[in-house]
A and B are shown apart, each in its own frame.
Chain A
Protein backbone atom coordinates (compact mmCIF):
# COMPACT_ATOMS: atom_id res chain seq x y z
CA UNK A 1 0.00 0.00 0.00
CA UNK A 2 1.46 3.43 -0.99
CA UNK A 3 2.12 5.78 1.89
CA UNK A 4 1.02 9.36 1.95
CA UNK A 5 4.66 10.44 1.84
CA UNK A 6 5.21 8.22 -1.20
CA UNK A 7 2.18 9.79 -2.90
CA UNK A 8 3.39 13.31 -2.14
CA UNK A 9 6.84 12.49 -3.54
CA UNK A 10 5.30 10.92 -6.64
CA UNK A 11 3.02 13.99 -7.10
CA UNK A 12 5.98 16.35 -6.77
CA UNK A 13 7.95 14.38 -9.36
CA UNK A 14 4.95 14.34 -11.78
CA UNK A 15 4.43 18.18 -11.52
CA UNK A 16 8.12 18.85 -12.19
CA UNK A 17 8.03 16.61 -15.23
CA UNK A 18 5.04 18.43 -16.73
CA UNK A 19 6.74 21.75 -16.03
CA UNK A 20 9.82 20.52 -17.80
CA UNK A 21 7.71 19.42 -20.72
CA UNK A 22 5.99 22.78 -20.88
CA UNK A 23 9.35 24.49 -20.81
CA UNK A 24 10.56 22.31 -23.63
CA UNK A 25 7.41 23.12 -25.61
CA UNK A 26 7.90 26.83 -25.04
CA UNK A 27 11.50 26.57 -26.14
CA UNK A 28 10.55 24.63 -29.25
CA UNK A 29 7.93 27.19 -30.21
CA UNK A 30 10.20 30.11 -29.40
CA UNK A 31 12.79 28.65 -31.74
CA UNK A 32 10.34 29.00 -34.63
CA UNK A 33 9.84 32.72 -34.20
CA UNK A 34 11.75 35.61 -35.67
CA UNK A 35 13.18 36.55 -32.28
CA UNK A 36 15.11 33.28 -32.22
CA UNK A 37 16.30 33.54 -35.82
CA UNK A 38 18.19 36.84 -36.05
CA UNK A 39 20.31 35.73 -39.01
CA UNK A 40 17.23 34.89 -41.03
CA UNK A 41 15.65 38.22 -40.10
CA UNK A 42 18.85 40.05 -41.04
CA UNK A 43 18.77 38.48 -44.50
CA UNK A 44 15.24 39.79 -44.93
CA UNK A 45 16.21 43.26 -43.79
CA UNK A 46 19.11 43.31 -46.21
CA UNK A 47 16.60 42.72 -48.99
CA UNK A 48 14.10 45.19 -47.49
CA UNK A 49 11.60 42.37 -47.26
CA UNK A 50 9.44 41.00 -44.46
CA UNK A 51 9.66 37.58 -42.86
CA UNK A 52 6.86 35.05 -43.29
CA UNK A 53 5.62 35.72 -39.76
CA UNK A 54 5.72 39.47 -40.23
CA UNK A 55 3.58 39.06 -43.33
CA UNK A 56 1.04 37.09 -41.32
CA UNK A 57 0.95 39.88 -38.73
CA UNK A 58 0.41 42.45 -41.48
CA UNK A 59 -2.39 40.45 -43.07
CA UNK A 60 -4.37 39.22 -40.09
CA UNK A 61 -6.35 41.00 -37.42
CA UNK A 62 -4.21 41.67 -34.35
CA UNK A 63 -3.09 38.54 -32.50
CA UNK A 64 -5.51 36.31 -34.40
CA UNK A 65 -3.22 33.91 -36.24
CA UNK A 66 -3.25 30.37 -34.85
CA UNK A 67 -0.46 28.26 -36.23
CA UNK A 68 -0.62 24.53 -36.89
CA UNK A 69 2.28 22.32 -37.93
CA UNK A 70 4.94 24.67 -36.62
CA UNK A 71 6.73 21.87 -34.83
CA UNK A 72 7.20 19.64 -37.89
CA UNK A 73 10.58 18.39 -38.93
CA UNK A 74 11.50 18.10 -42.60
CA UNK A 75 11.58 14.80 -44.40
CA UNK A 76 15.11 13.44 -43.93
CA UNK A 77 14.58 10.10 -45.60
CA UNK A 78 17.15 10.39 -48.38
CA UNK A 79 20.87 10.93 -48.76
CA UNK A 80 20.36 14.51 -49.97
CA UNK A 81 18.00 15.39 -47.14
CA UNK A 82 19.50 13.71 -44.09
CA UNK A 83 21.03 16.83 -42.58
CA UNK A 84 18.31 19.36 -43.41
CA UNK A 85 17.52 22.10 -40.92
CA UNK A 86 14.09 23.51 -41.81
CA UNK A 87 11.97 25.26 -39.17
CA UNK A 88 8.30 24.55 -39.86
CA UNK A 89 9.58 22.88 -43.04
CA UNK A 90 9.72 26.32 -44.59
CA UNK A 91 5.99 27.04 -44.47
CA UNK A 92 4.06 28.76 -41.70
CA UNK A 93 0.48 27.52 -41.77
CA UNK A 94 -2.65 28.16 -39.78
CA UNK A 95 -5.86 30.11 -39.47
CA UNK A 96 -6.14 33.85 -38.91
CA UNK A 97 -8.92 36.40 -38.87
CA UNK A 98 -9.27 38.95 -41.66
CA UNK A 99 -11.90 41.53 -40.74
CA UNK A 100 -13.09 39.13 -38.04
CA UNK A 101 -13.59 36.26 -40.49
CA UNK A 102 -11.44 33.09 -40.41
CA UNK A 103 -9.09 32.49 -43.33
CA UNK A 104 -6.63 29.63 -43.77
CA UNK A 105 -3.20 30.94 -44.63
CA UNK A 106 0.11 29.52 -45.80
CA UNK A 107 3.21 31.73 -45.76
CA UNK A 108 6.33 30.35 -47.40
CA UNK A 109 9.56 31.10 -45.54
CA UNK A 110 12.21 32.04 -48.08
CA UNK A 111 14.91 31.90 -45.40
CA UNK A 112 14.38 28.13 -45.12
CA UNK A 113 16.08 26.38 -48.01
CA UNK A 114 15.05 29.11 -50.44
CA UNK A 115 11.37 28.61 -49.73
CA UNK A 116 11.42 25.28 -51.51
CA UNK A 117 8.39 23.08 -50.94
CA UNK A 118 9.23 20.13 -48.72
CA UNK A 119 7.15 17.00 -48.36
CA UNK A 120 5.91 17.96 -44.93
CA UNK A 121 5.06 21.52 -45.98
CA UNK A 122 3.07 20.00 -48.82
CA UNK A 123 1.10 18.00 -46.25
CA UNK A 124 0.49 21.14 -44.24
CA UNK A 125 -0.85 22.84 -47.36
CA UNK A 126 -3.14 19.87 -47.89
CA UNK A 127 -4.41 20.21 -44.35
CA UNK A 128 -5.27 23.86 -44.92
CA UNK A 129 -7.13 22.89 -48.07
CA UNK A 130 -9.07 20.36 -46.00
CA UNK A 131 -9.91 23.07 -43.44
CA UNK A 132 -11.04 25.42 -46.20
CA UNK A 133 -13.14 22.75 -47.86
CA UNK A 134 -14.82 21.44 -44.71
CA UNK A 135 -15.24 24.72 -42.90
CA UNK A 136 -16.01 26.85 -45.95
CA UNK A 137 -13.22 29.35 -45.33
CA UNK A 138 -11.08 31.27 -47.84
CA UNK A 139 -7.54 30.16 -48.52
CA UNK A 140 -4.66 32.59 -48.85
CA UNK A 141 -1.11 31.69 -49.86
CA UNK A 142 1.76 34.14 -49.34
CA UNK A 143 4.32 32.57 -51.61
CA UNK A 144 8.01 33.19 -52.03
CA UNK A 145 10.26 30.37 -53.04
CA UNK A 146 10.98 27.73 -55.55
CA UNK A 147 9.19 24.59 -56.44
CA UNK A 148 9.81 21.13 -55.23
CA UNK A 149 12.67 20.89 -52.75
CA UNK A 150 15.51 19.41 -54.72
CA UNK A 151 16.73 17.39 -51.75
CA UNK A 152 13.38 15.58 -51.73
CA UNK A 153 12.56 15.62 -55.39
CA UNK A 154 15.62 14.09 -57.04
CA UNK A 155 14.57 10.69 -55.84
CA UNK A 156 11.94 8.75 -57.74
CA UNK A 157 10.92 6.80 -54.66
CA UNK A 158 9.63 10.10 -53.31
CA UNK A 159 8.77 12.07 -56.43
CA UNK A 160 6.88 9.38 -58.35
CA UNK A 161 3.94 9.75 -55.96
CA UNK A 162 3.66 13.40 -57.03
CA UNK A 163 1.30 15.28 -54.75
CA UNK A 164 -2.46 15.78 -54.77
CA UNK A 165 -2.07 19.54 -54.19
CA UNK A 166 -3.36 20.64 -57.59
CA UNK A 167 -6.34 18.31 -57.41
CA UNK A 168 -7.04 19.69 -53.95
CA UNK A 169 -6.82 23.28 -55.12
CA UNK A 170 -9.03 22.49 -58.10
CA UNK A 171 -11.68 21.00 -55.84
CA UNK A 172 -11.69 24.17 -53.76
CA UNK A 173 -12.20 26.36 -56.81
CA UNK A 174 -15.54 28.13 -56.73
CA UNK A 175 -16.27 26.95 -53.17
CA UNK A 176 -14.13 29.45 -51.29
CA UNK A 177 -12.16 32.50 -52.42
CA UNK A 178 -8.56 31.55 -53.15
CA UNK A 179 -5.78 34.13 -53.11
CA UNK A 180 -2.08 33.99 -53.91
CA UNK A 181 0.33 36.80 -53.15
CA UNK A 182 3.69 36.38 -54.87
CA UNK A 183 5.90 38.05 -52.29
CA UNK A 184 9.28 37.62 -53.95
CA UNK A 185 10.75 34.99 -56.24
CA UNK A 186 7.80 32.91 -57.33
CA UNK A 187 8.88 30.87 -60.34
CA UNK A 188 7.68 27.26 -60.70
CA UNK A 189 5.63 26.07 -57.71
CA UNK A 190 4.16 29.41 -56.58
CA UNK A 191 3.20 30.26 -60.16
CA UNK A 192 1.46 26.91 -60.57
CA UNK A 193 -0.49 27.42 -57.35
CA UNK A 194 -1.37 30.97 -58.38
CA UNK A 195 -2.81 29.73 -61.65
CA UNK A 196 -5.65 28.07 -59.76
CA UNK A 197 -6.42 31.07 -57.58
CA UNK A 198 -9.05 33.77 -57.99
CA UNK A 199 -6.82 36.70 -57.11
CA UNK A 200 -3.08 36.99 -57.60
CA UNK A 201 -1.14 40.01 -56.42
CA UNK A 202 2.51 40.96 -56.96
CA UNK A 203 4.82 43.63 -55.52
CA UNK A 204 6.50 45.71 -58.22
CA UNK A 205 10.27 45.46 -58.26
CA UNK A 206 10.16 42.55 -55.79
CA UNK A 207 7.88 39.79 -57.07
CA UNK A 208 8.66 37.55 -59.98
CA UNK A 209 6.73 34.60 -61.34
CA UNK A 210 6.71 32.26 -64.28
CA UNK A 211 7.28 28.65 -65.24
CA UNK A 212 11.01 28.67 -64.51
CA UNK A 213 13.54 31.20 -63.31
CA UNK A 214 16.59 32.61 -65.10
CA UNK A 215 18.96 29.86 -63.97
CA UNK A 216 16.86 27.10 -65.46
CA UNK A 217 16.17 29.20 -68.56
CA UNK A 218 19.91 29.62 -69.05
CA UNK A 219 20.55 25.93 -68.46
CA UNK A 220 17.82 24.90 -70.85
CA UNK A 221 18.12 27.49 -73.59
CA UNK A 222 21.46 29.22 -73.02
CA UNK A 223 19.53 32.49 -72.94
CA UNK A 224 20.38 35.08 -70.32
CA UNK A 225 17.66 37.21 -68.79
CA UNK A 226 17.12 38.89 -65.45
CA UNK A 227 14.37 37.58 -63.21
CA UNK A 228 12.62 40.94 -63.40
CA UNK A 229 12.57 40.93 -67.19
CA UNK A 230 11.52 37.28 -67.27
CA UNK A 231 8.79 37.39 -64.67
CA UNK A 232 8.36 40.78 -63.05
CA UNK A 233 5.09 42.61 -62.52
CA UNK A 234 5.31 44.52 -65.79
CA UNK A 235 5.33 41.29 -67.78
CA UNK A 236 3.09 39.10 -65.67
CA UNK A 237 0.51 41.60 -64.39
CA UNK A 238 0.42 44.24 -67.12
CA UNK A 239 1.33 42.34 -70.27
CA UNK A 240 0.19 38.78 -69.57
CA UNK A 241 -2.50 39.21 -66.93
CA UNK A 242 -1.49 36.10 -64.99
CA UNK A 243 -1.45 38.32 -61.92
CA UNK A 244 -4.49 40.48 -61.18
CA UNK A 245 -2.80 43.38 -59.45
CA UNK A 246 0.66 44.84 -58.95
CA UNK A 247 1.25 47.03 -55.91
CA UNK A 248 4.21 48.98 -54.61
CA UNK A 249 4.80 47.48 -51.16
CA UNK A 250 4.15 44.46 -49.01
CA UNK A 251 1.78 46.52 -46.86
CA UNK A 252 -0.24 47.42 -49.96
CA UNK A 253 -0.22 43.77 -50.92
CA UNK A 254 -1.84 42.71 -47.66
CA UNK A 255 -4.35 45.54 -47.90
CA UNK A 256 -5.23 44.43 -51.43
CA UNK A 257 -5.93 40.92 -50.17
CA UNK A 258 -8.14 42.27 -47.41
CA UNK A 259 -9.96 44.50 -49.88
CA UNK A 260 -10.50 41.67 -52.36
CA UNK A 261 -11.94 39.39 -49.70
CA UNK A 262 -14.23 42.13 -48.37
CA UNK A 263 -16.48 41.84 -51.43
CA UNK A 264 -16.89 38.09 -51.20
CA UNK A 265 -18.66 35.65 -48.90
CA UNK A 266 -16.66 33.10 -46.90
CA UNK A 267 -17.94 30.40 -49.24
CA UNK A 268 -20.39 29.88 -52.06
CA UNK A 269 -23.25 28.87 -49.77
CA UNK A 270 -23.31 32.32 -48.17
CA UNK A 271 -24.54 35.59 -49.59
CA UNK A 272 -21.96 38.28 -50.39
CA UNK A 273 -21.51 40.67 -47.45
CA UNK A 274 -23.65 43.81 -47.66
CA UNK A 275 -22.15 46.77 -45.80
CA UNK A 276 -23.82 49.88 -44.40
CA UNK A 277 -24.09 52.62 -47.02
CA UNK A 278 -24.81 56.32 -46.62
CA UNK A 279 -24.54 57.08 -50.35
CA UNK A 280 -28.13 57.86 -51.40
CA UNK A 281 -29.83 55.31 -53.63
CA UNK A 282 -31.30 58.06 -55.75
CA UNK A 283 -28.10 60.09 -56.15
CA UNK A 284 -28.24 61.69 -59.60
CA UNK A 285 -25.09 63.12 -61.12
CA UNK A 286 -25.37 65.59 -63.99
CA UNK A 287 -21.84 64.56 -64.94
CA UNK A 288 -23.31 61.42 -66.50
CA UNK A 289 -25.02 63.61 -69.11
CA UNK A 290 -21.64 64.78 -70.33
CA UNK A 291 -19.56 61.63 -70.21
CA UNK A 292 -20.62 60.19 -73.57
CA UNK A 293 -19.66 62.72 -76.26
CA UNK A 294 -22.32 63.73 -78.74
CA UNK A 295 -19.72 63.21 -81.47
CA UNK A 296 -19.51 59.43 -81.86
CA UNK A 297 -15.95 59.80 -83.14
CA UNK A 298 -14.83 60.91 -79.68
CA UNK A 299 -13.84 58.42 -77.04
CA UNK A 300 -14.32 58.84 -73.32
CA UNK A 301 -13.21 57.25 -70.10
CA UNK A 302 -15.69 54.58 -69.00
CA UNK A 303 -14.16 54.63 -65.51
CA UNK A 304 -15.90 57.96 -64.92
CA UNK A 305 -19.23 56.21 -65.41
CA UNK A 306 -18.32 53.38 -63.07
CA UNK A 307 -17.02 55.71 -60.36
CA UNK A 308 -20.17 57.83 -60.59
CA UNK A 309 -22.84 55.15 -60.44
CA UNK A 310 -21.15 52.98 -57.79
CA UNK A 311 -21.15 53.78 -54.09
CA UNK A 312 -18.48 56.37 -53.38
CA UNK A 313 -14.99 54.91 -53.06
CA UNK A 314 -16.28 51.37 -53.53
CA UNK A 315 -14.65 50.47 -56.84
CA UNK A 316 -11.82 47.89 -56.76
CA UNK A 317 -10.42 47.24 -60.21
CA UNK A 318 -8.97 43.84 -61.11
CA UNK A 319 -6.29 43.53 -63.79
CA UNK A 320 -6.15 47.33 -64.26
CA UNK A 321 -2.98 47.08 -66.32
CA UNK A 322 -4.00 44.18 -68.56
CA UNK A 323 -6.47 44.24 -71.46
CA UNK A 324 -7.30 47.83 -70.64
CA UNK A 325 -9.97 47.86 -73.33
CA UNK A 326 -12.07 45.83 -70.85
CA UNK A 327 -12.62 47.08 -67.33
CA UNK A 328 -13.38 44.53 -64.61
CA UNK A 329 -14.08 45.80 -61.12
CA UNK A 330 -15.77 44.92 -57.89
CA UNK A 331 -17.95 47.75 -56.60
CA UNK A 332 -20.88 48.26 -54.31
CA UNK A 333 -24.39 49.49 -55.03
CA UNK A 334 -26.16 50.54 -51.84
CA UNK A 335 -23.66 48.44 -49.93
CA UNK A 336 -24.22 45.32 -52.05
CA UNK A 337 -21.12 43.93 -53.78
CA UNK A 338 -21.44 43.69 -57.54
CA UNK A 339 -19.15 42.85 -60.44
CA UNK A 340 -18.93 45.48 -63.17
CA UNK A 341 -17.45 44.69 -66.57
CA UNK A 342 -17.35 47.40 -69.19
CA UNK A 343 -15.87 48.29 -72.54
CA UNK A 344 -13.28 51.07 -72.31
CA UNK A 345 -13.57 53.26 -75.44
CA UNK A 346 -10.28 55.02 -74.64
CA UNK A 347 -8.39 51.78 -75.24
CA UNK A 348 -8.59 50.28 -78.70
CA UNK A 349 -12.02 51.87 -79.03
CA UNK A 350 -13.31 49.32 -76.54
CA UNK A 351 -13.13 46.53 -79.07
CA UNK A 352 -13.16 42.91 -77.92
CA UNK A 353 -9.93 40.99 -78.51
CA UNK A 354 -8.58 37.82 -76.88
CA UNK A 355 -7.21 39.44 -73.71
CA UNK A 356 -10.42 41.40 -73.18
CA UNK A 357 -12.61 38.36 -73.74
CA UNK A 358 -10.61 36.18 -71.38
CA UNK A 359 -10.32 38.87 -68.73
CA UNK A 360 -14.08 39.40 -68.74
CA UNK A 361 -14.84 35.67 -68.88
CA UNK A 362 -12.72 34.87 -65.83
CA UNK A 363 -14.23 37.80 -63.94
CA UNK A 364 -17.78 36.73 -64.76
CA UNK A 365 -17.01 33.18 -63.61
CA UNK A 366 -15.67 34.44 -60.30
CA UNK A 367 -18.67 36.72 -59.69
CA UNK A 368 -21.02 33.88 -60.59
CA UNK A 369 -19.24 31.50 -58.25
CA UNK A 370 -19.64 33.82 -55.28
CA UNK A 371 -23.05 35.35 -55.96
CA UNK A 372 -22.10 38.85 -57.06
CA UNK A 373 -24.66 40.41 -59.42
CA UNK A 374 -23.16 41.50 -62.74
CA UNK A 375 -23.40 44.92 -64.37
CA UNK A 376 -22.43 45.16 -68.03
CA UNK A 377 -21.74 48.66 -69.35
CA UNK A 378 -21.71 48.46 -73.11
CA UNK A 379 -20.02 50.64 -75.70
CA UNK A 380 -18.72 48.08 -78.15
CA UNK A 381 -17.77 48.73 -81.78
CA UNK A 382 -17.40 45.01 -82.35
CA UNK A 383 -15.06 42.08 -82.05
CA UNK A 384 -11.61 42.60 -83.52
CA UNK A 385 -11.14 41.52 -87.14
CA UNK A 386 -8.31 40.92 -89.61
CA UNK A 387 -5.28 38.65 -89.86
CA UNK A 388 -3.72 39.92 -86.62
CA UNK A 389 -6.92 39.06 -84.75
CA UNK A 390 -7.08 35.65 -86.39
CA UNK A 391 -3.50 34.98 -85.33
CA UNK A 392 -4.66 35.15 -81.70
CA UNK A 393 -7.30 32.45 -82.16
CA UNK A 394 -9.99 35.02 -81.45
CA UNK A 395 -12.55 33.04 -83.38
CA UNK A 396 -12.40 30.38 -80.69
CA UNK A 397 -11.17 32.27 -77.66
CA UNK A 398 -13.97 34.83 -77.87
CA UNK A 399 -16.24 31.86 -77.27
CA UNK A 400 -15.07 31.72 -73.69
CA UNK A 401 -16.86 35.01 -72.97
CA UNK A 402 -20.09 33.81 -74.58
CA UNK A 403 -19.72 30.58 -72.60
CA UNK A 404 -19.32 32.19 -69.19
CA UNK A 405 -22.16 34.59 -69.88
CA UNK A 406 -24.26 31.60 -70.88
CA UNK A 407 -23.74 29.59 -67.71
CA UNK A 408 -23.79 32.42 -65.19
CA UNK A 409 -26.94 32.54 -63.06
CA UNK A 410 -26.29 35.57 -60.86
CA UNK A 411 -28.46 38.61 -61.59
CA UNK A 412 -27.35 40.49 -64.70
CA UNK A 413 -28.04 44.08 -65.71
CA UNK A 414 -26.91 45.43 -69.07
CA UNK A 415 -26.74 49.10 -70.03
CA UNK A 416 -25.87 50.24 -73.56
CA UNK A 417 -24.23 53.64 -73.30
CA UNK A 418 -23.40 54.17 -76.96
CA UNK A 419 -22.41 51.51 -79.50
CA UNK A 420 -24.03 48.10 -79.22
CA UNK A 421 -22.77 46.46 -82.39
CA UNK A 422 -22.98 42.89 -83.58
CA UNK A 423 -21.49 39.95 -81.80
CA UNK A 424 -19.89 42.20 -79.24
CA UNK A 425 -23.35 43.40 -78.17
CA UNK A 426 -24.35 39.79 -77.63
CA UNK A 427 -21.15 38.96 -75.77
CA UNK A 428 -21.64 41.88 -73.38
CA UNK A 429 -25.13 40.66 -72.52
CA UNK A 430 -27.13 43.25 -74.40
CA UNK A 431 -30.83 42.80 -74.90
CA UNK A 432 -32.14 39.26 -74.40
CA UNK A 433 -28.89 37.54 -75.37
CA UNK A 434 -28.19 36.26 -71.88
CA UNK A 435 -31.49 36.68 -70.06
CA UNK A 436 -30.51 39.89 -68.29
CA UNK A 437 -32.75 40.76 -65.36
CA UNK A 438 -32.87 44.25 -66.83
CA UNK A 439 -31.68 45.44 -70.25
CA UNK A 440 -31.34 49.19 -70.54
CA UNK A 441 -30.00 51.81 -72.92
CA UNK A 442 -28.99 55.44 -72.61
CA UNK A 443 -30.44 57.89 -75.13
CA UNK A 444 -27.05 57.94 -76.85
CA UNK A 445 -27.24 54.20 -77.64
CA UNK A 446 -26.89 52.97 -81.19
CA UNK A 447 -27.72 49.29 -81.58
CA UNK A 448 -27.36 47.24 -84.76
CA UNK A 449 -25.66 44.24 -86.30
CA UNK A 450 -22.45 45.95 -87.33
CA UNK A 451 -20.90 49.35 -87.87
CA UNK A 452 -23.23 51.34 -90.09
CA UNK A 453 -20.53 52.41 -92.52
CA UNK A 454 -19.34 48.83 -92.71
CA UNK A 455 -22.85 47.56 -93.42
CA UNK A 456 -23.32 50.04 -96.22
CA UNK A 457 -19.96 49.18 -97.76
CA UNK A 458 -20.67 45.45 -97.60
CA UNK A 459 -24.30 45.36 -98.66
CA UNK A 460 -24.84 48.48 -100.74
CA UNK A 461 -21.55 49.20 -102.48
CA UNK A 462 -22.82 48.35 -105.95
CA UNK A 463 -25.87 50.51 -105.35
CA UNK A 464 -23.99 53.64 -104.28
CA UNK A 465 -21.15 53.22 -106.77
CA UNK A 466 -23.75 53.18 -109.53
CA UNK A 467 -25.18 56.49 -108.34
CA UNK A 468 -24.34 59.77 -110.02
CA UNK A 469 -22.72 60.98 -106.77
CA UNK A 470 -21.49 57.85 -105.01
CA UNK A 471 -20.30 59.63 -101.87
CA UNK A 472 -23.57 61.47 -101.46
CA UNK A 473 -25.49 58.26 -102.02
CA UNK A 474 -23.32 56.49 -99.52
CA UNK A 475 -23.92 59.24 -96.96
CA UNK A 476 -27.65 59.01 -97.62
CA UNK A 477 -27.64 55.26 -97.05
CA UNK A 478 -25.69 55.72 -93.81
CA UNK A 479 -28.12 58.38 -92.59
CA UNK A 480 -31.12 56.19 -93.40
CA UNK A 481 -29.72 53.34 -91.34
CA UNK A 482 -28.69 55.63 -88.50
CA UNK A 483 -32.28 56.80 -88.34
CA UNK A 484 -33.38 53.31 -87.29
CA UNK A 485 -30.65 52.27 -84.88
CA UNK A 486 -31.34 54.66 -82.03
CA UNK A 487 -32.20 53.81 -78.46
CA UNK A 488 -35.89 54.54 -79.06
CA UNK A 489 -35.85 52.22 -82.05
CA UNK A 490 -34.31 49.55 -79.83
CA UNK A 491 -37.05 50.02 -77.27
CA UNK A 492 -39.83 49.94 -79.86
CA UNK A 493 -39.18 46.26 -80.55
CA UNK A 494 -38.96 45.42 -76.83
CA UNK A 495 -35.44 44.08 -77.32
CA UNK A 496 -34.55 46.16 -74.29
CA UNK A 497 -36.65 46.99 -71.24
CA UNK A 498 -36.26 50.75 -71.27
CA UNK A 499 -34.31 53.79 -72.34
CA UNK A 500 -33.27 55.72 -69.26
CA UNK A 501 -31.91 59.05 -68.19
CA UNK A 502 -28.24 58.29 -67.46
CA UNK A 503 -28.62 59.95 -64.08
CA UNK A 504 -31.12 57.23 -63.06
CA UNK A 505 -28.72 54.37 -63.79
CA UNK A 506 -27.58 53.97 -60.20
CA UNK A 507 -31.10 53.95 -58.76
CA UNK A 508 -32.44 51.51 -61.32
CA UNK A 509 -29.57 49.07 -60.83
CA UNK A 510 -30.00 49.17 -57.05
CA UNK A 511 -33.76 48.63 -57.32
CA UNK A 512 -33.32 45.82 -59.83
CA UNK A 513 -30.89 43.85 -57.70
CA UNK A 514 -33.06 44.42 -54.61
CA UNK A 515 -36.00 42.91 -56.49
CA UNK A 516 -34.23 39.93 -58.04
CA UNK A 517 -33.71 36.53 -56.47
CA UNK A 518 -30.11 35.66 -55.72
CA UNK A 519 -29.91 33.43 -58.80
CA UNK A 520 -31.64 33.34 -62.16
CA UNK A 521 -33.24 30.03 -63.05
CA UNK A 522 -30.61 27.71 -64.48
CA UNK A 523 -31.94 26.34 -67.76
CA UNK A 524 -29.21 23.72 -68.09
CA UNK A 525 -30.33 20.10 -68.57
CA UNK A 526 -28.93 17.48 -66.15
CA UNK A 527 -25.48 17.33 -67.73
CA UNK A 528 -22.39 16.41 -65.75
CA UNK A 529 -20.52 19.57 -66.67
CA UNK A 530 -20.29 22.17 -69.44
CA UNK A 531 -17.24 22.24 -71.73
CA UNK A 532 -15.41 25.54 -71.99
CA UNK A 533 -14.35 26.51 -75.52
CA UNK A 534 -10.84 27.01 -74.13
Chain B
Protein backbone atom coordinates (compact mmCIF):
# COMPACT_ATOMS: atom_id res chain seq x y z
CA UNK B 1 0.00 0.00 0.00
CA UNK B 2 1.44 3.31 -1.05
CA UNK B 3 0.20 6.66 0.19
CA UNK B 4 0.57 9.64 -2.14
CA UNK B 5 -0.01 13.26 -1.30
CA UNK B 6 -1.83 14.99 -4.14
CA UNK B 7 -0.60 18.55 -4.49
CA UNK B 8 -2.14 21.50 -6.26
CA UNK B 9 -0.05 22.65 -9.21
CA UNK B 10 -1.59 26.11 -9.18
CA UNK B 11 -2.56 28.85 -6.73
CA UNK B 12 -6.25 29.63 -6.70
CA UNK B 13 -9.58 28.84 -5.11
CA UNK B 14 -11.20 25.44 -4.71
CA UNK B 15 -14.05 25.62 -7.23
CA UNK B 16 -15.45 22.13 -6.85
CA UNK B 17 -14.59 18.67 -5.53
CA UNK B 18 -15.81 16.03 -7.99
CA UNK B 19 -14.83 13.00 -5.86
CA UNK B 20 -15.71 11.64 -2.41
CA UNK B 21 -13.54 10.09 0.27
CA UNK B 22 -13.40 6.36 -0.37
CA UNK B 23 -13.91 6.70 -4.10
CA UNK B 24 -11.66 4.74 -6.46
CA UNK B 25 -10.07 6.85 -9.16
CA UNK B 26 -7.98 6.23 -12.24
CA UNK B 27 -4.73 7.96 -13.08
CA UNK B 28 -5.39 11.53 -14.30
CA UNK B 29 -8.96 11.63 -12.94
CA UNK B 30 -9.77 15.14 -11.61
CA UNK B 31 -9.80 15.20 -7.80
CA UNK B 32 -10.12 18.92 -7.08
CA UNK B 33 -11.06 21.72 -9.48
CA UNK B 34 -9.12 24.89 -8.73
CA UNK B 35 -10.17 28.22 -10.17
CA UNK B 36 -7.09 30.05 -11.35
CA UNK B 37 -6.43 32.45 -14.21
CA UNK B 38 -10.19 32.49 -14.89
CA UNK B 39 -10.08 28.78 -15.62
CA UNK B 40 -11.20 25.69 -13.77
CA UNK B 41 -8.00 23.66 -13.59
CA UNK B 42 -8.09 20.05 -12.46
CA UNK B 43 -5.76 18.65 -9.83
CA UNK B 44 -5.46 15.11 -11.10
CA UNK B 45 -4.76 11.74 -9.53
CA UNK B 46 -1.10 10.86 -10.14
CA UNK B 47 -1.97 7.16 -10.16
CA UNK B 48 -4.94 4.85 -9.79
CA UNK B 49 -6.10 4.31 -6.23
CA UNK B 50 -8.56 5.30 -3.52
CA UNK B 51 -9.07 8.80 -2.19
CA UNK B 52 -8.60 8.39 1.54
CA UNK B 53 -8.63 12.04 2.57
CA UNK B 54 -9.67 15.38 1.12
CA UNK B 55 -7.94 18.26 2.87
CA UNK B 56 -9.75 21.26 1.39
CA UNK B 57 -13.27 22.55 1.03
CA UNK B 58 -15.02 24.49 -1.67
CA UNK B 59 -14.00 28.12 -1.56
CA UNK B 60 -10.66 27.50 0.18
CA UNK B 61 -7.59 29.25 -1.15
CA UNK B 62 -4.89 26.81 -2.18
CA UNK B 63 -1.28 27.47 -3.03
CA UNK B 64 1.03 25.75 -5.48
CA UNK B 65 2.42 22.65 -3.81
CA UNK B 66 -0.27 22.51 -1.13
CA UNK B 67 -1.50 19.00 -0.36
CA UNK B 68 -5.20 18.86 -1.21
CA UNK B 69 -5.91 15.14 -0.97
CA UNK B 70 -4.40 11.76 -0.06
CA UNK B 71 -4.41 8.81 -2.44
CA UNK B 72 -3.80 5.25 -1.36
CA UNK B 73 -2.79 2.70 -3.97
Contact = CB atoms under 8 A, between A and B. Distances in A.
A381 B35 CA distance: 13
A491 B35 CA distance: 31
Interface string B19-57: 000000000000000011111111010000000000000
A351 B9 CA distance: 11
A386 interface: yes
Contacts of A388: 11, 64
A388 B37 CA distance: 15
A4 interface: no
Contact of B36 (A298, A325, A349, A453): A349
A347 interface: yes
A299 B40 contact: yes
A348 interface: yes
B70 interface: no
Contacts of B11: 386, 388
B38 A297 contact: yes
B18 to A, nearest CB: 13
B24 to A, nearest CB: 21
Contacts of B67: none
A381 B12 CA distance: 15
A299 B41 contact: yes
A296 B10 CA distance: 18
B9 A297 contact: no
Contacts of B41: 299, 345-349
A453 B38 contact: yes
A325 B10 CA distance: 11
Contacts of A453: 38
Contacts of B10: 348-349, 351
Interface string A279-303: 0000000000000000011110000
Interface in A321-355: 325, 345-349, 351
A346 B38 contact: no
Given A348-B10, A349-B10, A381 B64 contact: no
A129 to B, nearest CB: 39
A349 B37 contact: yes
A348 B9 CA distance: 6
A348 B64 CA distance: 10
B37 A351 contact: yes
A348 B11 CA distance: 9
A177 interface: no
A320 to B, nearest CB: 12
A148 B10 CA distance: 43
A279 to B, nearest CB: 27
A323 to B, nearest CB: 11
Nearest to B42: A346
A381 B39 contact: yes
A451 B36 CA distance: 12
Given A348-B10, A386-B11, A296 B37 contact: no
Interface string A294-317: 001111000000000000000000
Given A296-B39, A348-B41, 9 more contacts: A297-B39, A348-B9, A349-B10, A349-B37, A351-B10, A381-B39, A386-B11, A451-B37, A451-B38
13 contacts: A297-B40, A299-B39, A299-B41, A345-B41, A346-B44, A347-B41, A348-B10, A349-B10, A351-B10, A381-B37, A388-B64, A451-B38, A453-B38
Interface of A: 296-299, 325, 345-349, 351, 381-382, 386, 388, 451, 453
